[in-house]
Amino acid sequence: MLPFLPQTRLPSRPGLILVHIVRYRIGQSPSPRVGVQVGGDVFALPGVSSLASLWSLRLADIHQRVDERETAGRVPADEITLLPPVDGRTEVWAAGVTYESSRQARITESERSADVYDRVYEARRPELFFKSAAWRVVGDGQTVAIRDDSSVTVPEPEVALVINTFGEVAGYTVCDDVSSRSIEGENPLYLPQAKTYLGGCALGPAIRPAWEVADPYKLGIELTIERAGAIAWQGSASTASLRRTFGDLVGYLMHADIHPDGVLLSTGTCLVPPAPFTLADGDVVRIEIAQIGTLTTGVVRGLERMRAAFGPAT
């Protein structure tokens, strides 16, 4: 996959150096690596060949590996390219209708089945669905896509949980759960087509370890969509308005399934551009989540444009 836009910097706060788990490439090397970025430096993780292998460990062991990063293998951050923070057999799943704003948006867009969104918002069992295999996820600086049979497509900025095989939340990253509102609105059973396609999932730029985030229910979220150099839509919200707990969502996801290499779970959106707004070819989508990072992607329309941007893997 080739970068589409310049990659963004990982977040920093005055007087505090943030720690991120990163999947990256040095120079033109074809081999992805796993490491820890601390400020402007990246350090290799001893004995960790992939993120998938890291998520097979207990949280305490992951914490220890991060603390024991190889200081001798330091590489300046400006010499690496960040890759999507998911690999191997790790799947990406997502939750729906977890915020009041999402419930209202789904009710508005659905002509015949509005009540299903109202019911799932109030129900004990959450809406969970498969979003993407690791190999088709795009990362920071790359490209998401609009289906050419969709008349309304929007980005959905979300906090994604990084969960190990034992059901422990190991970290957080930024997810763009790109969605066709027109296809899902026609019939809720079309959700897989509205949500799961090449260019429909972006993650990154890195993973913020869970132990580094004091309160994940107080994270500000900002969405900016640029078009022809101007802001076409902008909004902000917070995880404080999330109706369900992360533990509740993880419990249902892990209840009757196994994830040997861990799993990522995107936790739903609280920022939905109102209809009839839709993404357009050439837009730039920027999602910033406090303490976690900023994910920036370009937008193309149609499978062939996305195939060309995605690279030889397709």
> Which of residues 62, 82, 102 is at a domain's end?
82
Mean pLDDT of 201-217: 97
124 and 219 in a common domain = yes
Residue 14 is assigned to a structural domain of this protein: no
Separation between Cα atoms, residue 160 and residue 298, nearest integer Å: 20
Residue 63 is assigned to a structural domain of this protein: yes
172 and 70 in a common domain = no
303 and 261 in a common domain = yes
pTM of the model: 0.92
At 102 the pLDDT is 55
Query: Greater confidence, 142 or 122?
Result: 142
47 and 153 in a common domain = no
Concatenated DSSP letters of 41-76: EEEEPTT---HHHHTTS-HHHHHHHHHT-EEEEEEE
> Which of residues 53, 82, 111 is at a domain's end?
82
pLDDT digits (tens, 9 = 90+) for 259-306: 999 999 999 998 989 989 999 999 999 999 999 999 999 999 999 999
To the nearest whole number, what is the mean pLDDT of the chain?
91
> Which of residues 64, 82, 100 is at a domain's end?
82
Query: Of 265, 269, 199, nearest to 235 (Cα)?
Result: 269
pLDDT digits (tens, 9 = 90+) for 127-181: 999 999 999 999 999 999 999 999 999 999 999 999 999 999 999 999 999 999 9
Instruction: Give the domain range for residue 67.
Output: 19-82
At 71 the pLDDT is 78
**Beta carbons within 8 Å of 246's beta carbon, 6+ residues apart:** 161, 169, 216, 267
115 and 77 in a common domain = no
pLDDT digits (tens, 9 = 90+) for 81-99: 999 999 999 999 999 988 7
At 236 the pLDDT is 96
Residue 278 is assigned to a structural domain of this protein: yes
Residue 8 is assigned to a structural domain of this protein: no
At 2 the pLDDT is 40
108 and 31 in a common domain = no
Query: Greater confidence, 115 or 29?
Result: 29
146 and 122 in a common domain = yes
293 and 238 in a common domain = yes
At 311 the pLDDT is 78
Q: What are the φ/ψ torsions at residue 181 (nearest 5 degrees)?
A: -70, -35
pLDDT classification of 121: cutoffs 50, 70, 90: confident
267 and 202 in a common domain = yes
Report helix angle 114-122 to 100-109, nearest 10. 160
Which whole-number Å values give the CA distances from 261 to 82, 86, 186, in the listed order?
A: 21, 10, 35
**CATH code, domain carrying 154:** 3.90.850.10
At 104 the pLDDT is 58
Residue 300 is assigned to a structural domain of this protein: yes
Residue 10 is assigned to a structural domain of this protein: no
DSSP helix, strand, coil percent of the chain (3-state; round to 5): 25, 35, 40
Residue 271 is assigned to a structural domain of this protein: yes
Q: Domains in the chain: how many in total?
A: 2
193 and 142 in a common domain = yes
Rg (alpha carbons) of the chain, rounded to whole number: 18
